[in-house]
Chains A and B, each alone.
Chain A
Amino acid sequence: NAGVMQNPRHLVRRRGQEARLRCSPMKGHSHVYWYRQLPEEGLKFMVYLQKENIIDESGMPKERFSAEFPKEGPSILRIQQVVRGDSAAYFCASSPHPTARWNEQFFGPGTRLTVL
C-alpha cells in the first residue's frame, strides 16, 4: 500500500514565479492536510481539504496561496508570485477519517521549495 506521495521533492523558483505542489493521499483516504515548515521551526497547519471541498483554510495566507483537491487527481497547493519568505518545506498528510482525534495523519516526504 503506497504511502502519501508528494512531488516534486525539491522545487526551485525565482521570485515572481508560480509554484505548484502536488499531493496524492494514501489509497482510501479522502482527507488531505497541508502544513508548512519554515527553517528551524515546527510545522504549521495551512489547510484541510476533502474531495472538491475546502473545509478549513484558516492557516493559509490570504493572498497568493490556494489549494484544491479535485474529484480526480492529486491535491494541489499553488503559490503565485513566490517571494523568498515562501522558502520552506511543505508537507501533505492524509487520513481516512477527518475529525476523529485519535486519527493519525499520514505524512508525505515533503516538498522543499527554494525561492531564489
Chain B
Amino acid sequence: AQKVTQAQTEISVVEKEDVTLDCVYETRDTTYYLFWYKQPPSGELVFLIRRNSFDEQNEISGRYSWNFQKSTSSFNFTITASQVVDSAVYFCALSDSNYQLIWGAGTKLIIKP
C-alpha cells in the first residue's frame, strides 16, 4: 500500500536558520514520482518540485534543496537561511501506479522574525 509520512507536525525556527522537513514514503512500485507542495496561509497549493524514482540526484533551487534517498525511502526538503515568507504548511506527495496523489499530513513551518 502507498503511504506518505511526515512525522513533523510543526516546526518553529528563527529567521535565517536552516530547516529540514522530512518525508518518508512507502510504495511497492519501482517507478514512482514524489512531489512537494507549499500551502501558505492563503490556502492555495503551490507546486515546488517533482522527482522521479530513477533520478536520485539532489536538487537545489535557490534556498531550497531536496535530498532523495531510495535506500531509506525518504525525500527530505531543506530551506536554507529561512525567511518569514517561508511560513506555510508543506506537503509531500507520492504518485505511483495510480494517478492518485497520496499526500502526507503536512508539516506546519513557522519562521519567527
Residues of A within 8 A of B43 (CB): 89, 109-110, 112
Taken residue by residue from 84 to 100, chain A's Cβ proximity to chain B (1 for < 8 Å, 0 otherwise) reads as: 00000101010100110
Asked, given contacts A42-B91, A43-B91, A110-B45, whether A104 binds B103 with beta carbons under 8 Å apart, the answer is no
Tally of A-B Cβ pairs under 8 angstroms? 63
Q: Are A103 and B91 in contact (CB under 8 A)?
A: no
CB–CB A42/B106 < 8 A: yes
Task: Indicate the size class of the contact surface on chain A.
Answer: 20 to 34
Residues of B within 8 A of A103 (CB): 95, 99
Docked Cα-Cα span, A91 to B95, in Å, equals 17
| B106 with A101: CB separation less than 8 A | no
Bound CA–CA A108/B106 (angstroms): 18
What is the minimal beta-carbon distance from B107 to any residue of chain A, in angstroms? 10
| Residue of chain B at shortest CB distance from A105 | B101
Residues of A within 8 A of B52 (CB): 101-102
Is A101 within 8 A of B95, CB to CB?
A: yes
Q: Are A41 and B50 in contact (CB under 8 A)?
A: no
| List of A residues within 8 angstroms of B106 by Cβ | 41-42
CA distance A95 to B105 in the complex (A): 23
Most buried by A among B33, B35, B45, B50: B45
Partner of A43, one of B6, B32, B97, B103: B103
Give B8-61 interface residues, CB cut-off 8 Å to A: 31-33, 35, 37, 43-45, 47, 50, 52
Q: Is residue B72 within 8 Å, beta carbon to beta carbon, of the partner chain?
A: no
Most chain B beta-carbon contacts within 10 A, residue among A44, A48, A101? A101
B45:A91 contact, CB within 8 angstroms? yes
B100 beta carbon closer than 8 Å to chain A: yes
| Seed contacts A43-B101, A93-B101, A101-B33; 10 additional CB < 8 Å A-B pairs | A33-B101, A42-B105, A42-B106, A43-B103, A56-B99, A59-B100, A102-B50, A103-B95, A104-B50, A110-B43
Q: What are 5 A-B pairs with beta-carbon distances under 8 A?
A: A33-B101, A44-B103, A45-B101, A106-B47, A109-B44
